[in-house]
Amino acid sequence: MKKIKVRKIGNSLGVILPKSTGIHEGDELYFMQKGERLILDMTEADINRARTIIEKGFDDFKYNRTLTEDEMAKLLGKYGWHK
């Protein structure tokens, strides 16, 4: 188990979490206290991050930035793309 230091941030307290936790800046986490343990729940943050990635993947369709098979063949034919 790694140690992390509690720091004063304004009128609150905070901790710096390692990148290896998978938590990203701006994520909102649920927390609960069970006895002497604090539990951070990343479930909703992971779902929201995945939703953002998926929605961004549809931007090309939303803004009509798609190519036909013929256009793909013309642009990428030299790499083996063909009908």
pLDDT at residue 83, rounded to an integer: 57
Residue 35 in domain: no
pLDDT digits (tens, 9 = 90+) for 9-36: 999 999 999 999 999 999 999 999 999 9
Say if CB 2 and CB 18 are below 8 A apart: yes
What is the pTM for the complete model shown?
0.60
Residue 28: inside a domain: no
How many domains does one find in the chain? 1
User: What's the rounded Cα separation, in Å, for the pair 45 and 24?
Assistant: 9
CB atoms within 10 A of CB 65: 8
Determine, yes or no, domain membership for 65. yes
Range of the domain at 78: 43-83
DSSP codes joined into one string, 35-49: TTEEEEE-HHHHHHH
Hey, what are 79's tokens? 């790499």
pLDDT greater than 80 at residue 82: no
